Structure 1
Amino acid sequence: MVKYKPELKVQIVHEYLSTSQNTYDLSEKYQIDNRRIGEWV
């Protein structure tokens, strides 16, 4: 299982909340599974 730095998680969640990007957009940008990003949000 891949561990992600807390700073990266915060950055991605902040980007999700402050823009119109969805988890699919962010998963492509950061190469992280969209379900994982969904867990953080």
Structure 2
Amino acid sequence: MTRPIQASLGLQALKQNLSIVRQAAPHAARLVGGKSERLRAWY
């Protein structure tokens, strides 16, 4: 009984992680881009 529930929760967690990574990727690229782009992000 518990295994299917855990599997479904695992799939939900993976989907959430993927969405978070997709949202975080552009921010990480900006941070790596350099200080000038960081200043642009602040203002």
When the two structures are superposed, what TM-score results if normalisation uses the length of structure 2? 0.33
Higher relative contact order (CA 8 A, sep 6+): 1
